[in-house]
Amino acid sequence: MKRLVIISSLLGLVWTYSMAVAGGDVEAGKAKAQVCVSCHGTDGIGTQPQFPNLAGQHHDYMVRALQDYKSGARNNAIMKGFVANLSKADMQDLAAYYSTREAVLFTPKVE
């Protein structure tokens, strides 16, 4: 039992450290994500197949994707409009929020 408590504590510290290193504020990201809900869903699960799930995405990937939409390296007219006024801090916050959401894995339907 003592070993389990120690392991749990260490895992908690590792998780806390990884979130601090990744950057961003989860609660601020949740507030900023309200504009994303219509396409990417309340917790980052896309509302339609054409809208990607953001829940559980890696923090650094999310930040890079947002930066690429803003710079034009990723070409999507809808996303370009949404990211146009995002600061680096906004991107960090959004990535922090979505990276803490539980990912949902879908099994492709084979007919």
- pTM above threshold 0.95: no
The predicted structure's pLDDT at residue 21: 44
Percentage of residues in the chain with pLDDT exceeding 70?
76
For the chain, how many structural domains are there in total? 1
**63-86 per-position pLDDT tens digit:** 999 999 999 999 999 999 999 999
The predicted model gives 8-16 an average pLDDT of 56
Q: Write out the two tokens for 30.
A: 């949740």
- Indicate whether 38 belongs to any domain: yes
In a domain, 81, yes or no: yes
- Tokens representing 96 are 């922090």
Which residues constitute the domain of residue 70? 24-100
Amino acid letter for position 107: T
Q: Burial letters for 11-27: b for 16+ Cβ neighbours within 10 Å, e otherwise?
A: eeeeeeeeeeebbbebe
In DSSP notation, 11-67 reads HHHHHHHHHHHH---HHHHHHHGGGGHHHH-TTS--SSTTSPP-TT--HHHHHHHHH
Cα–Cα distances (Å) from 9 to 14, 32, 76, in that order, read 9, 31, 43
Q: Please state, in angstroms and rounded to a whole number, the distance separating the CA atoms of residues 56 and 51.
A: 15
The mean pLDDT value of the chain amounts to 85
The reply to whether 5 falls in a domain is no
Q: Report the CATH number at residue 45.
A: 1.10.760.10
